[in-house]
Amino acid sequence: MGKVIVIFFHTILFFVFPVLAKDVIMEKYSTDINNDGKVEYLIHEFFGGTGAYGILTIYADKGEVILKEKTQGDPFFKDPNKHIYTLNPQFFKDVDKDGILEILIGHQEYQNNTPNFSAPWVFKTYKWNGKKYISS
């Protein structure tokens, strides 16, 4: 009986989890985006599809979440010349010219918890308040 359970468990791990894992692409990037001298960790979970929906989560150096928002589009670019990722300047701009990047997040509105591709885009700007990014 024990062997049957082990075989069943391995079958589930082999067939089910790879399917679940390939539905989400996770990109990671680290840099000092708020100019505090400490590295922040940016994680973009991309759910795929033509809508390019995902969630951008930014962690401070000690692990606290300083931003978590739904996104549409890719906050990172792969530089074709250097073959490394860089921040997408459409997402990260110093709008008010204070030396600290603001985060611009846009997406089409949801309807019945589903992306509505015919809806207009909604944009929010997030500004650093000294502790986390807040909508301004």
DSSP 3-state assignment of 16? Answer: helix
- Which secondary structure element, helix H or strand E, spans residue 54, and what is its range? strand 53-59
Burial class (CB in 10 A: 0-12, 13-18, 19+), 117: exposed
Whole-model pTM: value is: 0.73
CA distance 55 to 15: 26
| Residues 85-100: tens digit of each pLDDT | 889 888 999 999 999 9
Residue of 110 and 53 predicted with greater confidence: 53
Residues paired with residue 88 on neighbouring β-strands, in sequence order = none
91: amino acid identity, one letter? F
CA distances from 89 to 9, 28, 100, 108 (A): 45, 16, 13, 19
Q: What is the DSSP letter of 56?
A: E
Percent of the chain with pLDDT over 90: 39
H or E stretch covering 6 = helix 2-22
pLDDT of amino acid 25: 80
Domain parsing of the chain, residue ranges: 23-135
Distance between CA 100 and CA 22 in Å, rounded?
35
> What pLDDT is recorded for position 17?
41
Q: Which two tokens stand for residue 73?
A: 């589009």
Q: Are 127 and 136 in contact (CB under 8 A)?
A: yes
pLDDT tens-place string over residues 41-70: 999 988 766 667 889 999 998 899 999 998
- pLDDT of the residue at 11: 43
What confidence score (pLDDT) does residue 124 get?
A: 92
